[in-house]
Amino acid sequence: MALDRFINERKTVWQRLEELLQRLDQMTLRRLKRDEVRELGRIYRRTASDLAIARAESRDPRLINYLNSLVIRAHGRIYRADAQGGRRIWNFFARDFPQTFRRTWRYTATTALVFFLFGALSFLATRRDPDFSELADVSPGMRHRIESRIRWWQEINDANQIESTAIFTHNIRVTAYEFALGALLGVGTLFWTAYFGLNTGAIFALTYRAGFGNDLTAFVVGHGVIELSCCFIAGGGGLLIGTAMLMPGNLSRADALKARGMEAVRLAVGASVLLVVAGIIEGFISPQPLSPVIKFSIAVITGLALYSYLLLAGREDGAVSGPDLHSNR
């Protein structure tokens, strides 16, 4: 039988990986011999490959759960068990966060698509009929400011530090909602993202109707690339949690929540830290009376820097980054 042959050919490697992990339960990674550390990395990669094969071909839930548990344990010991203090933080941002972003990019892209779809619909509807902004939950005070052509963001210039702190807190709150509402089977995240898109689109449409939409765009663009990206990344984390409950694939729901939950937390933590950069730009640079060319240049530079980091960082470790835990095959 093909499954029996597959297990017989590889079980020695799996057992050896278990032995090394049991030793690591009693010591740190640094205390292993150099050849054992190399062996651990080698058989971890092989076991991760075996897990992918088992998912694609065997459909045996016991084998898949066993290998998945083994790979998760090994990944944790290799990448986190011996990392302390500053090194742990460095490893997280240099490797774990960008690798997790790449593994889960479909969830982030889904959140972005929902935001821009509802944002565009709200913008078009409000441009045609400003009363639609009430359905998009634009407050009466905000509508009055826009109708009065008040550029509210210029008030930030009067108290940069205070406003920057308030902006940062608001951004964290929005991101937290995107993430936490994923516990509502992912529907909460999608609903909040759609609401955020509707509200944003309506505000932009009202300012363009009032004749100063270009000014608002110039204000937002400098920090908007990072800010929106962080919201989408956190929303992707929320969807990871929701899909683990709804579509655990070959894993039990508990195992799926554990695996995808770890990924989701990495996304949320990384996005929250990046929001500090967006808050600083929004509080100290975006309100300044700078040329729109400068602000659009900042948007391009920050966008290139952010996505170069997310798409390229940690690729030298890509071979040992583990299997895709998000397949529902």
246 found inside a domain:
yes
Residues 269 and 205 in one domain: yes
Q: Which of 48, 82, 116 is the last residue of a domain?
A: 82
Query: Lowest-pLDDT range, 25-29, 50-54, 179-183, 248-252?
Result: 25-29
Residues 172 and 291 in one domain: yes
Residues 40 and 188 in one domain: no
Report the number of distinct structural domains present in the chain: 2
77 found inside a domain:
yes
19 found inside a domain:
yes
Q: Which of 82, 113, 144 is the last residue of a domain?
A: 82
Arithmetic mean of pLDDT over the chain? 83
pLDDT of residue 288: 85
pTM score, two decimals? 0.70
192 found inside a domain:
yes
Place of tokens 């032995």: 19
d(CA 326, CA 260): 7
pLDDT of residue 31: 66
Tens of pLDDT, residue by residue over 164-211, are 555 556 667 777 777 777 767 778 899 999 999 999 999 999 999 999
pLDDT of residue 329: 44
Mean pLDDT of 322-326: 47
Residues 77 and 117 in one domain: no
Mean pLDDT of 97-116: 95
Residues 73 and 151 in one domain: no
Residues 170 and 21 in one domain: no
Give the angle 277-204-307 at the CA atoms, nearest 5°.
Answer: 35
Whether the pLDDT of residue 129 is over 90: the answer is: yes
Q: Which of 29, 49, 82 is the last residue of a domain?
A: 82
Residues 70 and 110 in one domain: no
pLDDT of residue 319: 42
Residues 107 and 59 in one domain: no
89 found inside a domain:
no
Given pLDDT bands bounded at 50, 70 and 90, which one contains residue 312? very high
Is-contact 321 46, C-beta < 8 A? no
12 found inside a domain:
yes
Whether the pLDDT of residue 85 is over 80: the answer is: no
3-class DSSP state for residue 83?
Answer: coil
Q: Please give the residue range of the domain that contains residue 237.
A: 103-320
Residues 12 and 68 in one domain: yes
Residues 144 and 180 in one domain: yes
Tens of pLDDT, residue by residue over 239-268, are 998 888 888 777 777 777 877 888 888 999
Higher pLDDT, 176 or 108: 108
Residues 168 and 33 in one domain: no
Whether the pLDDT of residue 27 is over 70: the answer is: no
Distance, first Cα to last Cα, the chain: 22
Higher pLDDT, 126 or 167: 126
pLDDT of residue 220: 92
98 found inside a domain:
no
Residues 74 and 108 in one domain: no
> Would you list the DSSP string of 223-274?
HHHHHHHHHHHHHHHHHHHHHHHH--TTS-HHHHHHHHHHHHHHHHHHHHHH
pLDDT of residue 98: 95
Query: The tokens of 87 are what?
Result: 């090194």
326 found inside a domain:
no
